[in-house]
Amino acid sequence: MLIFALATVAWASGARADPTRTATVAVSTASVAPDGQEPDADVFDAAFADEAAPFDQEARFVEAVEVVGNTKTDRQVILERIQVEVGDLVNEARIEESRLRLLGTGFFKSVEFSLRRGSNRGRVLLVVEVEERNTILVDELYLGYSRVSPFFGGFGLAETNFLGRGVTVGGSFVLGRDRRSLELRAFAPSISGTPLQISGSAILLQGAEVLDEDDLQGQQLTYRRLGGTLGVGFRVGMAQRVSLIYRLESVRADRLPNLDPALLRQAPSIQFDDSVLSSLTARYERDTRDDPFMPTQGNRVALTAEVGTTLIGSTYEFSKYTVELSQAFLLFEEHSLELHFYGGLVQGHTPFFNQFFISDFAYFAWNRDSLPRNAQLNFSESNDYDDLVASAGAIYGVPVLRGKDLLYRMWLYGGLEFTATASLDELQEDPTGRGVGGTIPLSFDLGVKFDTFIGNFTLSLSYMLDLVF
């Protein structure tokens, strides 16, 4: 009900959305004269010999903004992402920012800007022509098997432009032996045209963790989670926002029988019986990428600090800090390179599912049967959760196909990742720490990425190797 209410309020107020998936489409913009430069009469007349004028002419003032091609997306959703307003001087940088913001929504396959003659000399119409794409997407696809779960599967769906108002609503589920999860979420990036943003999520989860990797049929730690988040954010600049998120979950972990004390010490960190996870998270994010799935330009910065304390009803006292950085580069013949870094630290006592899991960051973990978590569930036999993580890598993409109707783009890609995790307790006992858990820190991947009518998909060599080996 919370998710539905958030989506309804945001739709009624004409909210706009940030993407969960986007399309990378080459569009053209040209340069403009520096701000404050007066147009030459001959150049002005020559520029408007045709109906449309490029951006490489003398600076002009915007008399009006015209939007063309939007059959589903509300016009106001588009206008709110354009950094050039009526009365402004045409500016190359702002036009480029506007193009990236519109492409970054994932609502459009292409975006083009052009100028048309205005009512008087020195005045122009700024024309924004968009080609819309499907925004009901399969944004997650879970499929695999392991020695713990002979088969697990599920998927997620998201509508990133709900009723054309730019609101994101979605959900996902996954099922496997002794494990199941259902998640719902909603995000409204603008309320009534103001910088105010709201978000919400809900989770219902039943999971299990292997205690002894040498006895997979033995005792498991079983637990349940029920709760969600409610967030309020504000736009503070171009492609930037700050937010405050409250998280509340009821957690129940079944007590374990009298086991070997050494085995109990290796069990994931959680309080038995009933407990409450209550926390506040402050988050700052700046994202100027043209496409989060396969970016060719722009960068992303995300900083978070989460605090759980008894002052707000939490059973767990902890703090958690993360930093995410990425930078994309457009190389020759539309080849792309993305460099990224992720770092994290947990202090205090937090449930294991709120710690770091090495397979969530590395393409694969050497000498360890470990898979990335799916919908926050661990389907592998490893239960090695840590307080520290550092991961850095690069992805190189080569476009091989550009389609139109069903398959928009296809890339071949290769990736390298250096990942290390450690526990604070182990660092105190051993100056070298666990580091990478006795594994080699380097992992790699090769595969194919698809941007399609129904969503983005990746065929990953490393994931298949994890499943097989």
Q: Where are the domains of the chain?
A: 28-132, 136-468
pLDDT in tens, 17-32: 333 333 323 233 333 3
pLDDT of residue 426: 60
Closest CA to 221 of 184, 186, 256, 173: 256
Residue 243 has pLDDT above 90, yes or no: yes
pTM above 0.85?
A: no
The C-alpha atoms of residue 98 and residue 113 are separated, in whole angstroms, by 9
The C-alpha atoms of residue 225 and residue 277 are separated, in whole angstroms, by 10
pLDDT grade for 120, boundaries at 50, 70 and 90? confident
Query: Residue 268's Cα: distance from chain center in Å?
Result: 27
Closest CA to 308 of 275, 263, 341: 275
pLDDT in tens, 138-176: 888 898 888 888 899 999 999 999 988 889 999 999 999
Domain 28-132: give its CATH code: 3.10.20.310
Q: At residue 423, what is the residue type?
A: S
Residue in this structure with the two tokens 């209550």, named with its chain if needed: 278
The CATH class of 136-468 is mainly beta
pLDDT of residue 202: 98
